[in-house]
Structure 1
Amino acid sequence: MKKTVIAIMGPTAVGKTKLSIEVAKQFNGEVISGDSMQIYKGMDIGTAKIKEEEMEGIPHHMIDMKEPDEEFSVADFKNYVQNYIDEISNRNKLPILVGGSGLYIQAALFDYNFSNQKRDETLTRQLEDRIKREGPLPSYNRLKEIDPVQAEKIHPNNHRRLIRALEIYETTGLTMTEYQNNQTFESPYYLVLIGLEMERAQLYEQINQRVDVMVEEGLVDEVSKLLEKGYEGCQSMNAIGYKEFIPYFRGEKSLEESIEILKRNSRRYAKRQYTWFKNKMDITWYDMTDTNNRNEKFPMILDDLAGILKNT
């Protein structure tokens, strides 16, 4: 029998965390973070990492596992999540994957194969040598030309992922995006996919408010401490919530400008999240537009889940 996994997905600031706690309490579950940045220690406010008091005693996984200067790939995420699903299921508890990192979640739930394209060792060495000679930017600009979708996901200093994306194109004639899209997915799990959505204007307002709260809670100081530790050029600092303040600390932008840019980037990211989830997975969506209606929506979702899980 396939292991049952609940996944709660949707854009930032839509209410996934609160729902996940209710689901875990009702169905004896444990939460696995589906946010690719919450893996990093010291990156708490900008990633909207759940606070201990908000967990209500529910075990949470995939949080605070890496230092900010450590690389962390989609393949790494997939392997960790699948191991946690096994561990939680083997304890007769329900794994609940919660987050908004679409490709990462899809990779874990549908057993995405990242390594079935054999490596060309000669080409790999050539690409590595070029980066050593010229730095990463020429290779990164090449990737932006051939595969802008992947270039947006890969930090220039993440040489391993940069080389792999270029290598796939050079050896197959397909970009990594095309290569991924051509794969067929069959999940090894019995999946219950829940999506939370919200009318766009209200969602954007909630995102703006969330950014203001993050700043009040000390986000700027959090970024400052990470920069003081020398993490500026790391993959992790390319995350939304962190990269926007680097120009401020360089004296290139005001704090107010940086905050507004963060709000804009967060809204744009939410739009991309919607597009990804709507196009890539068969999700049952629940409209959370009226947040006062949450007291009605959460019991409805829990009832729907009870009916589904009864038959697994």
Structure 2
Amino acid sequence: MTMRLSLSAYKQVQPRVSFQGELSMKPFFRRKDKVVFVLGPTGTGKSRLAIDLATHFPAEVVNCDKMQVYKGLDIVTNKVTEEECRGVPHHLLGIADPDADFTSEDFRHHASLVVESIVTRDRLPIIAGGSNSYVEALANDDPEFRLRYDCCFLWVDVSLPLLHSFVSDRVDRMVRAGLIDEVRNVFDPTKVDDYSQGIKRAIGVPELDQFLRNELTVDAKTSRELRDKAVEKIKENTCMLARRQLQKIQRLHSIWNWKMHRIDATPVFLASGKEADNLWDQIVAGPSTLIVNQFLCDENHVSPVAPSEPVNMVPISVPAMAAVGTR
């Protein structure tokens, strides 16, 4: 059984104050709180890795997938189930109204509150998801966040051709799990839907429009053709999303010079069953755990703060989050 230390065990750095006859007013250094980001294209196992890490460290997961932040359509948006969460608290998962426009600025605001709440309780925030615009808004565009937190970026990568094959198979599994019925339950054939905002932007919703709009007015053969065409379009758009996400991660890495730890999970996707699980532990979860452990123990990342000009953090209450696994 693995013993999980309190995060405070990693926080042993004391403020450096110089006493030379009187208190020096030169800036001293304050230890930053730690935040871990798990990045990667869709289908690479970001949620799995985040949960693996959170079962090893005293941690909680913060969702940064722009579709999973909405309530409903759990199959379409591929939300983690209660069983998959393994008791790990999840935040910003299924909290927004389905018709709302939850922007990057909204994410930055809510994620900042959640991260502060987590570190206040002496736990490690692990921010995981594929919406890199959300990550950028928080980790790069928010100067207060950069001042307060030291970040570790884990990038789960998989060979794109192999990933495309995997996400196509995953779409088939989602269809068997009830994806089409889930979309049908929120579809109104008498209205022209707006697929430009809210959860209806999710891949799997607009692609089914023509099938659902015509399934009761065409013959069985045509209905099957429309259905199959929609499923193929879902696969195509999911593969395109994976490519865009990978390009965005590479751009963030090059432009902002973020120090990312690239974890190549390709061998896992070439295997199956128990062999794949063992490989995941050996080349993904295991190395990532070592990286995070070193990150938490690293004392080189400190933030200069002048005693005469403290950073004022206004206490704020965190709104209640939706329960994990509720549908």
Tell me the TM-score range normalised by the shorter chain. Answer: 0.7 to 0.9
| 1:256 corresponds to | 228
Shift of 1:188: 4.1
Q: Among 182, 191, 200, which residue is 1:222 paired with?
A: 182
Given residue 311 of structure 1, which amino acid in structure 2 is its aligned partner?
A: D
TM-fit CA distance, 1:216: 0.7
Q: Distance in 1 between matches of 2:100 and 2:93?
A: 14
Uncovered stretches (5+) of structure 1, i.e. residues with no partner: 114-184
Aligned 8 A contact 1:42 1:226 in 2: no
Pick the aligned partner of 2:171 from 203, 211, 218. 211
Pick the aligned partner of 2:201 from 219, 235, 238: 238
Q: How many pairs does the alignment contain? A: 241
**Partner residue of 1:296?**
282
- TM-score w.r.t. the length of structure 2 is 0.70
Structure with the greater alpha carbon radius of gyration: 2
Partner of 1:190: 150
Conserved? CA contact 1:204–1:267, under 8 Å: yes
Note if contact 1:32-1:61 (Cα within 8 Å) is conserved in structure 2.
yes
C-alpha distance in 2, partners of 1:273/1:66? 23
Give secondary structure in 1 for the equivalent of 2:291: helix
Partner of 2:119: 89
Matched, 1:276 2:245: no
Q: Give the aligned residue type for 2:159.
A: E
The answer to whether 1:286 aligns with 2:245 is: no
Provide closer, same or farther for how the CA distance between residues 92 and 208 of structure 1 changes in structure 2, counting only shifts above 3 A. same
Q: How does 1:76-155 map to 2 (within 5 A)?
A: 76-112=106-142
What is the alpha-carbon distance in structure 1 between the residues aligned to residue 174 and residue 123 of structure 2? 33
Letter in 1 for 2:73: M
Aligned position for 2:238: 266
SS at match of 1:107: helix
Q: Distance in 2 between matches of 1:227 and 1:3?
A: 45
The Cα RMSD (Å) is 2.0
300-309 or 190-199: bigger deviation: 300-309
CA distance in 2, matches of 1:276, 1:288: 19
Alpha-carbon deviation of 1:186? 5.0
**Partner of 1:250: helix, strand, or coil?**
helix
TM-score by length of 1: 0.73
Amino acid at match of 2:58: N
- Which whole-Å deviations, capped at 9, do the CAs of 1:43-82 have from their partners, x for residues lacking one? 2111110000111100000011122112211110110111
SS of 1:192's equivalent in the other structure is strand
